[in-house]
Structures are given as C-alpha cells and as structure tokens.
Amino acid sequence: MADTLHTPTEDLHETLLRMGEQARAASAALAKAGPAARTKAILAMADALVAADSDILEANARDLDGGKQKGLSSAMMDRLALDAERVAAIADALRAVADLPDPVGTEIARWTVPSGLDIARVRTPLGVIGIIYEARPNVTADAAALCIRSGNAAILRAGSESLHSSIAIASALREGLASVGLPEDAVQLVQTTDRAAVGHMLTGLNGNIDVIVPRGGKGLVARVQAEARVPVIGHLEGLCHTYVDGAADPQKAVDIVVNAKMRRTGICGATETLLIDQAIASDLLPAIASALTDAGCTIKGDAAAQALVANMEAATEEDWRTEYLDTIISVRVVDGVAGAMAHIEEYGTSHTECIITEDQATAETFLSEVDSGIVIHNASTQFADGGQFGMGAEIGIATGRIHARGPVGAEQLTIFKYLVRGTGQTRP
Amino acid sequence: MADTLHTPTEDLHETLLRMGEQARAASAALAKAGPAARTKAILAMADALVAADSDILEANARDLDGGKQKGLSSAMMDRLALDAERVAAIADALRAVADLPDPVGTEIARWTVPSGLDIARVRTPLGVIGIIYEARPNVTADAAALCIRSGNAAILRAGSESLHSSIAIASALREGLASVGLPEDAVQLVQTTDRAAVGHMLTGLNGNIDVIVPRGGKGLVARVQAEARVPVIGHLEGLCHTYVDGAADPQKAVDIVVNAKMRRTGICGATETLLIDQAIASDLLPAIASALTDAGCTIKGDAAAQALVANMEAATEEDWRTEYLDTIISVRVVDGVAGAMAHIEEYGTSHTECIITEDQATAETFLSEVDSGIVIHNASTQFADGGQFGMGAEIGIATGRIHARGPVGAEQLTIFKYLVRGTGQTRP
C-alpha cells in the first residue's frame, strides 16, 4: 500500500483527492466484474488475511503497546487485541459475506407500459463509500468485504488506536483483490492519525465519495453531522425505548426488559429508557425493577416510578436524552400508548422502540405510528441487528431518513437504475 | 398565509426556522392521517384552486406585468401565463395525483427469521421536503400534491418571476388542507424574493428539512451542489446520449434520433450528443444528419463526422460537456459500443442514455454497463419521464447516487421502517 501513503512532497488533502480518484476508477471496474468475480475476491481476501497472519499480529502488538502507553482501559485493550484465532475468525466472517447473495443486477421490479416499453428496475452499486470508524480492527475487514459484495469501492478511515493493525489488514485485503485481477484500490485505507483526514473525507473528495458511513462514539457523530457535505448513512445514536403496556403479559415484560437492557449494554440496540403504563405500573414495576437490580442494573425513575420502588434514584430531564450504553436504565410512568409515543417522539433517536402488550390493536397502533427505523412488538430491542434480521453482515443501523433505515447490509449499499427495452418507440 | 410572511420584526432566517418547525409538526400529523384522508386533502386542494381562480389570475397578472418590465422572452412569458383553463388543468393534475396509489404503509417485503420474529419492511414518508424551483407556477401545485400523496410536508421556494401566482396557489392549497382538517402547514411557501432564503433552506433549517429537491437551471443547480448540507434528490443536468450501433436498424436510428433530439428540445431527457459507430457512420450518418437538418437542428461534429456530411460545424471539447436544451446536437464517431460507453463515462451526467442496435448481446452490454439512472434500448430518450414510466406524476429525474435514481414520483418520496412482530422473544 505504499502508493496510498502520503509523502512529505504531497499534502494530506492531495493524497486523499488522489485516493478518491483511484476509488472511483476501481469502483467502475468492480461494478462491471460481476457477482462471481466479487465472490472470488472476498474469498481471496479471507485467504490473504490468514496468510498475512504474522504481519497482522506484529502490527497489532505495536497498537497494543501504544494502547498501554495511552492507558486504554482493559476493555478497550481487549477489543483491540488480536491473536491467530481472532484473525481466523475475521477471515471466516469474510467467507460468510462471500456466501451472501450479490445484490448487484438484481431485478427489483419489472413492468410494461402502454407504449410497449419494458421497464426493469435493477440494483447497482452506490459507487465509493467512505467509512469512518473507531476501535476494533475487524471493522476494516468487515466493512471492506460488505462494500466489495455490493460492488462498491471503500475508503476506510480507522481509529488511531488500531491504525497499525488496520494497515496490515487492509494491505492483506488489497493483495487478495489483486490476486484475482481486481483493482486493489477498491479498498484503500487512510494511513495517518491526522484528524484532518476525516474533514477531507466529509467534503466528498471532489465528488469521489458518494456516501459516508460513520461508526463510532458521540464525538465522531457530532463531527460528521456538523461537517458532512455528502450523504451520511449510519447509526448516529441509539436511544431505544421499551414500553410496557397495561395489557402486557407480566412474565414477557420482565424477561424482555431485562434482556433488552442487560444482555449487552454497549450495543446501539440496548434499551435505555423503560416506559410503563400507569395502569399496570404499581402491579408490575416492582417485579421488573427487582429483576433489573438482580441483574446489576441501576434504575433512575420519575416521581411516579420512585413512589413504587424503594431507593430508586431520581431521573432528570437529561436522563431521557442519555444513551447510557451502560448498566443504567431510566424509567418513566406514562399514560398508556399515547403517552409512550409522545415520549418517544420527544426524546427518541429513530433507532429501535418496542411495545410489550397482548392487545393487538394497541400493538398495531404503536407499530404504525412510531417513526423509528425498527419498531418491535413483544421482543427484545437487542434484536436490532442485520444478522438477526436474516440480512447477513451489517455495517451499522441507519437512523437517518433517506436511502435506508435500520440494519445496513449489502443490499442497502446499493441503489438502482432503470433498464428500458423498446422496439423502436418514439415519443408522440 | 400571513403567518408565514416574515415581518420587519423577524428576520428571514428566523422565519424559515419557524417554517421548519411548523413543517415538522405538520408532517407527523399528515403521516398519521392515513391514505383516505390524504386523498381527500388533495381533492380538496384541487377544488380550492378552482374556487380561488380569480385571486390566482389577479396575482398572475402582477407576475406578467413584472415579467414584461424585466423583458422576459415570449417563451418565458407564455410559461408564466395562467388563464382559467390552465388553472383548471392544474386542478385536474392534482386530481390525477389523488388517484395515485398512496405509498405510505405499503409492505415492501415480509419474512420470518429462525428466532420466530416476523419482519416487515413498510414504506413511511421522508418527512419534510424542501423544493426549490423556477419559472412555471404549476410546479407549486404539482410538487405540493406529490408531497401530500406521500405523507410529506413541503416547504416550497418558488422562482421570483412567478412569486405572486405561487403565493395565491399555495394559499388555495392550504385552504384545501384546512377544509378537511389537516394542518395547512403541510404546505408552506417562502414568501420573499430574497435569495438568501435558498441558502437557509440548504442548511436544513435545524434538521427540519430532510431532503432538498431542486428544479431549475444551472445557476440554481450549482448553488445547491455547493451549499446543500442536507441530501439532495433531483435532476442536476441531463446531458443525454444516443448511440447508434453498427448493428442498428437504419430507419429506427433515424426516427429515434430525430425524436430524441427534436420532439422537445428544452426537456432534460432530450438527447444532446449523438454517438455513432464508425462501422456504420458512412452509411447512416448522412441520412440521420439530413433528417435532423430538415427538422431544424444544427449539427456540430468531430472531424470524422464532418468528413461524412457537408457543411457540418466543428464540435469542440466544450460541446461534449454542453446540455444545449436547444435545436443543436453534437455528433461523434466512436469505435463501437466500447467507444460509446467510454465517451458516456467521461461526459455523461448519469441521466439517460440510449443504444440503437438489433444486436441483443450488444444491447445487454450497454444496458448493464452504462451507469445512468435510465438506460434505454431502441427507444427515444424523451421517454425519460415518470408519466411515461407509468408512475403518475413526477417531481423530477434524479441524477444522484443515493435514495433514488430516475423519475421521482410519490413512491420515491418515501423511505421505510421495519415492523418486527414477536411472541416474547429475548435474544440469546
């Protein structure tokens, strides 16, 4: 990858503009290569990763050294660490992406119009996708593979903590592409920790980045929102709600709420706020609270909730706006489904919301009226995941309003064009 | 509509921010109102237009006076002019939109995953759409109706030439909405000729505009491209190509090229550049050129084309980049379909391209590899139109890469969400 390193004679902006041009050219070749060639490429990328195993682990050791010096938490260090087994797991994840159906060229719809024209809407790649992420080095491989699966070129910007590992992984992926005759510039990694690189990517590199996919914490998200001059697809914030309706089954309510909050607290689909119908709060909140406390969760409630459960901390306005990503939940007693929906409209981030009820009509009202990418009836919000949706790998959950919402997999990284087949028609 | 006029005590930016907030609130109500209520609203808007007939014509007379003073061309004056018949035609166009299927709530896909969850992908409105347009006053009504059909609120910014007419039309549309109990702020018109209003809209009004749809000439387009901080869906430029292959049927070639260029030269689907295979150029170009000349078209060709047709002007590099929107065509002799595709990749604007050939394999190569929103085999590029595609009304042709390409109708003004129906599932 020496050709994408900027040298002292070229500034960072020029380097990135050149990467954009290279990506655009590679994306055209990749789109034309066809599904079988893309499958072969992803398998070759997986093999190349395993073959580059020792280079990757050596690079990872440098990242771990750097992490120690920076005083990263042990959780962060664990996320950063690779061993031969983890590299093999990353390669296996690529093979799973190679197994996914290739969306490019798929016919979405086809019809004939009165003029006799036969019109087909078929999927095409988006073009060049800029992915800006933090932490885990496996994202470099996962994101690149999903882009290749969908016929797109990727410009990757890794977190500084994992930069050496990401460079080694990207280098292997590029070798894999080249080994099957596809342009290695279909996967390029920005090889600097200079944060100005993010700013340049957000300008779209002279029209050579079509979409930005951010994956990271609030700092990154805020920057992307403020600066992006190209469309953004991705997960901004996941302040997910679970609403326990008056007609909820008590056991389902306890089981789902505990799972939705506590199964994994650090993922975007974790429930952050529990809304409970005043009609059932006194019967059910104590049991839910006790199960959450037993699972190690801290509960912060409004006055009505505090009145029902001993020693509950008070929730403030700020709590309704907080994505804890931790073993903390806020609880509010609301006036039925309308109250729950009003709270979600005010504080939600359009990610994932759940209703627990045995009343079908109430469930359908909630499903129809709540304006989030994913709306769930009687199941945990932790199902908000491309794999759980049967979509294979995902690059994130989209919380914006255009192009795609919910899990973003290979299909969501495509757009369409119209193929019009005529027999000599002219328009009257 | 006095409430959306900015007064000396409120600056333009504040006015627009308030319009954004009003639009957001109205869009939520509109989305929840349901298909029947939206149909009723569009019919009421049509009736209100006819009822406001004299107000609209009075306002239009002021625009025509202004146009005369500005020295608008007679073509421009004709596009601006309304009479009772044209107002009735605008109302009829609204009734046609009322007849279109309402896309909101439509199930796009539904499946069950191994966990037993039933997952449905259903269409939802985009939210608030900002439409910036020029010239014809009927766009005010058409665009508003398509937004209502798809459950979206509209913030409209009309051209200064038609501002009085647009204010009168928007006022009638709002009366129609109010008459059926829907929020009139679902349709708001920016009531100033101050061009700073466009800049404010392009910032997204604090997140209260989800998408910008531009309809206008190069000046507007350049500004939108440079300044937009929200996604843009729309027609930027339509530099459409027709390629006559060596295996073309000669008569089809003549008929289609003349129609594609000359049927209406001012629309975005008009062919601007003719590419002709060198294998057939000497046989066929003279006949095509003669038919074009007979139809009143000026031809500018490369050296190879000039060698085949007497008195042909020379085409320069600039011609390959020019959307004439006039009775002018550029002609280039190319080396087969590969040469045609290389020219289109270099100079095209991803709008509409056509191949004329009797060779199916060549046609399929062109359809598959040309990366434009619409790719046509053996029919005129002037079919690039939502109505001709059987989609009903359109708000324009999208030439960007995300969300939608090709004709943008009611369906393309929606996005989707996932409804997940469970029976108590927790995630392992």
Determine the Cα–Cα distance for residues B20 and B14; give it in Å rounded to an integer. 10
Determine the Cα–Cα distance for residues A21 and A251; give it in Å rounded to an integer. 57
Answer whether residue B236 shows pLDDT above 80: no
- Residue in B383, B397, B412, B414 to test binding to A, most A beta-carbons within 10 Å: B383
Are both B24 and B127 inside the same structural domain? yes
Q: Which domain holds residue A98?
A: 2-233+408-419
**Mean pLDDT within A148-165:** 96
Q: Which two tokens stand for residue B24?
A: 């957001």
Nearest-by-Cβ selection for A390 from B113, B229, B377: B113
Query: Domain tally for chain B?
Result: 2
Are both A39 and A103 inside the same structural domain? yes
Are both A218 and A336 inside the same structural domain? no
Are both B278 and B378 inside the same structural domain? yes
CB pair distance less than 8 Å for A390 and B425: no
pLDDT band at B10 (very low <50, low <70, confident <90, very high): low
Q: What is the pLDDT of residues B309-319, one digit of tens each?
A: 999 999 999 99
Q: Which residues of B touch A126 (CB under 8 A)?
A: 401-402
Q: Which residues of A touch B210 (CB under 8 A)?
A: 401-402
User: What distance in Å separates residue A142's CA from the closest CA in chain B?
Assistant: 22
Are both A285 and A267 inside the same structural domain? yes
Answer whether residue B377 shows pLDDT above 70: yes
User: What distance in Å separates residue A62's CA from the closest CA in chain B?
Assistant: 35
pLDDT band at B298 (very low <50, low <70, confident <90, very high): very high
Are both A259 and A165 inside the same structural domain? no
Q: How many CA atoms lie less than 13 Å away from A321 in the CB half-sphere?
A: 4
- C-alpha dihedral sign at A226, A227, A232, A234: negative
Are both A213 and A352 inside the same structural domain? no
Contact (Cβ atoms closer than 8 angstroms) between residue B387 and residue A340: no
CB pair distance less than 8 Å for A231 and B231: yes
Q: Which two tokens stand for residue B124?
A: 């939802």
Answer whether residue A404 shows pLDDT above 50: yes
Pick the range with the lowest mean pLDDT from A43-47, A82-86, A191-195, A403-407.
Answer: A191-195
Contact (Cβ atoms closer than 8 angstroms) between residue A235 and residue A397: yes
Total number of residues shown for chain A: 428
Contact (Cβ atoms closer than 8 angstroms) between residue B252 and residue B356: yes
Are both A189 and A266 inside the same structural domain? no
Cross-strand pairs, A328: A298
Contact (Cβ atoms closer than 8 angstroms) between residue B257 and residue B271: yes
Determine the Cα–Cα distance for residues A197 and A227; give it in Å rounded to an integer. 12
Q: Which two tokens stand for residue A310?
A: 């001993």
Q: B401 lies in a domain?
A: no
Answer whether residue B86 shows pLDDT above 60: yes
Contact (Cβ atoms closer than 8 angstroms) between residue A299 and residue A262: no
Q: A425 lies in a domain?
A: no
Q: What is the pLDDT of residues B120-149, one digit of tens each?
A: 999 999 999 999 998 688 899 999 999 999
Determine the Cα–Cα distance for residues B328 and B295; give it in Å rounded to an integer. 11
In degrees and rounded to multiples of 5, residue B237 shows phi and psi of -140, 145
Cross-strand pairs, B328: B298
Q: A17 lies in a domain?
A: yes
Q: What is the pLDDT of residues B180-189, one digit of tens each?
A: 999 999 999 9
Percent of chain B topping pLDDT 90: 84
Answer whether residue A9 shows pLDDT above 60: no
Residue pointed to by tokens 């039309």: B169
Determine the Cα–Cα distance for residues B38 and A418; give it in Å rounded to an integer. 29
- Residue in A237, A383, A394 to test binding to B, most B beta-carbons within 10 Å: A383
- Stated as kind and residue range, the H or E segment containing A57 is helix A53-70
Q: B400 lies in a domain?
A: no
How many H helices and E strands in chain A? 15, 16
- Residue in B27, B419, B423 to test binding to A, most A beta-carbons within 10 Å: B419
Q: Mapping DSSP to helix (H, G, I), strand (E, B) and coil, where does residue B322 land?
A: coil
Write down the pLDDT at residue B9. 53
Which residue, B31, B19, B29, is CA-closest to B204?
Answer: B19
CB pair distance less than 8 Å for A375 and B422: no
* Residue A164 burial (C-beta neighbours within 10 Å; 0-12, 13-18, 19+): buried
Contact (Cβ atoms closer than 8 angstroms) between residue B290 and residue B257: no
Residue scoring higher pLDDT (B305 or B223): B305
Between β-strands B211-215 and A240-244, what pairing exists: parallel, antiparallel or unpaired? Answer: unpaired
Q: What is the mean pLDDT of chain B?
A: 94
Are both B108 and B16 inside the same structural domain? yes
Write down the pLDDT at residue B6. 47
CB pair distance less than 8 Å for A375 and B418: yes
Q: Which residues of B touch A403 (CB under 8 A)?
A: 231, 402-403, 415
Write down the pLDDT at residue A245. 98
Q: Mapping DSSP to helix (H, G, I), strand (E, B) and coil, where does residue B104 land?
A: coil
Chain A residue closest to B110 (CA)?
A389
What is the predicted ipTM? Answer: 0.93
Which residue, A287, A312, A239, A297, is CA-closest to A263?
Answer: A297
- Stated as kind and residue range, the H or E segment containing A420 is strand A414-425
Answer whether residue A368 shows pLDDT above 70: yes
Are both A194 and A300 inside the same structural domain? no
Q: What is the mean pLDDT of chain A?
A: 94
Q: Which two tokens stand for residue B142?
A: 């058409």
Between helices A35-51 and A53-70, what is the axis angle to 10°?
A: 70
DSSP states of B123-181 as a string?
EEE--EEEEEE-S-THHHHHHHHHHHHTT-EEEEE--GGGHHHHHHHHHHHHHHHHHTT
Percent of chain B topping pLDDT 70: 97
CB pair distance less than 8 Å for B31 and A105: no
Are both B165 and B222 inside the same structural domain? yes
pLDDT band at A145 (very low <50, low <70, confident <90, very high): very high
Write down the pLDDT at residue A4. 43
Total number of residues shown for chain B: 428
pLDDT band at A22 (very low <50, low <70, confident <90, very high): very high
Q: Which residues of A243-262 are buried (b: 16+ CB within 10 A; e: fewer)?
A: bbbbbbbeebbbbbbbbbbb
User: What distance in Å separates residue B12's CA from the closest CA in chain A?
Assistant: 22
Alpha helices, DSSP H, located in B264-398: 278-294, 303-306, 317-320, 336-347, 360-369
Q: B178 lies in a domain?
A: yes
Determine the Cα–Cα distance for residues A81 and A57; give it in Å rounded to an integer. 9
Q: Mapping DSSP to helix (H, G, I), strand (E, B) and coil, where does residue A201 land?
A: helix
Determine the Cα–Cα distance for residues B240 and A402; give it in Å rounded to an integer. 27
Contact (Cβ atoms closer than 8 angstroms) between residue B244 and residue B253: yes
Q: Which residues of B touch A423 (CB under 8 A)?
A: 378-379
pLDDT band at B108 (very low <50, low <70, confident <90, very high): very high
- Using only C-alpha atoms, chain B has a radius of gyration, in whole angstroms, of 24
Q: Which residues of A touch B114 (CB under 8 A)?
A: 390
Answer whether residue A357 shows pLDDT above 80: yes
The enclosing domain of A23 has a CATH number of 3.40.605.10
Determine the Cα–Cα distance for residues B28 and A164; give it in Å rounded to an integer. 47
Q: Which residues of B293-319 are buried (b: 16+ CB within 10 A; e: fewer)?
A: eeeebebbbbebbbebbeebeebeeeb
Q: A122 lies in a domain?
A: yes
The identity of residue B377, as a single letter, is H
Answer whether residue B334 shows pLDDT above 60: yes
Between β-strands A352-356 and A240-244, what pairing exists: parallel, antiparallel or unpaired? Answer: parallel
Are both B225 and B278 inside the same structural domain? no
Which residue, B135, B200, B205, B145, is CA-closest to B166?
Answer: B135
The enclosing domain of B355 has a CATH number of 3.40.309.10
Determine the Cα–Cα distance for residues B220 and A142; give it in Å rounded to an integer. 40
Q: Which residues of A touch B109 (CB under 8 A)?
A: none
Chain B residue closest to A352 (CA)?
B418
Chain A residue closest to B251 (CA)?
A424
Q: What is the pLDDT of residues B145-182, one digit of tens each?
A: 999 999 999 999 999 999 999 999 999 999 999 999 99
E-only strand ranges, B222-295:
240-244, 271-277
Q: What is the pLDDT of residues A285-344, one digit of tens each?
A: 999 999 999 999 999 999 999 999 999 999 999 999 999 999 999 999 999 999 999 999
Q: B402 lies in a domain?
A: no
Cross-strand pairs, A300: A313, A330
- Residue in A111, A352, A355, A420 to test binding to B, most B beta-carbons within 10 Å: A420
Chain A residue closest to B229 (CA)?
A229
Residue scoring higher pLDDT (A238 or A188): A188
Q: B399 lies in a domain?
A: no
E-only strand ranges, A323-396:
328-334, 352-356, 374-379
CB pair distance less than 8 Å for A375 and B421: no
Contact (Cβ atoms closer than 8 angstroms) between residue A159 and residue A216: yes
Q: What is the pLDDT of residues B38-60, one digit of tens each?
A: 999 999 999 999 999 999 999 99
How many H helices and E strands in chain B? 15, 16
Write down the pLDDT at residue A23. 98
pLDDT band at B99 (very low <50, low <70, confident <90, very high): very high
Nearest-by-Cβ selection for A426 from B127, B259, B418: B259
Determine the Cα–Cα distance for residues A183 and A177; give it in Å rounded to an integer. 6
Q: What is the pLDDT of residues A214-272, one digit of tens each?
A: 987 778 877 887 888 888 888 778 999 999 999 999 999 999 999 999 999 989 999 99
pLDDT band at A2 (very low <50, low <70, confident <90, very high): very low
Answer whether residue B3 shows pLDDT above 60: no
Which residue, A136, A151, A138, A153, is CA-closest to A4?
Answer: A153
Contact (Cβ atoms closer than 8 angstroms) between residue A337 and residue A362: yes
B87: how many CB neighbours lie within 10 A of its CB? 25
Q: Which residues of A touch B367 (CB under 8 A)?
A: 419, 421
Write down the pLDDT at residue B75. 84
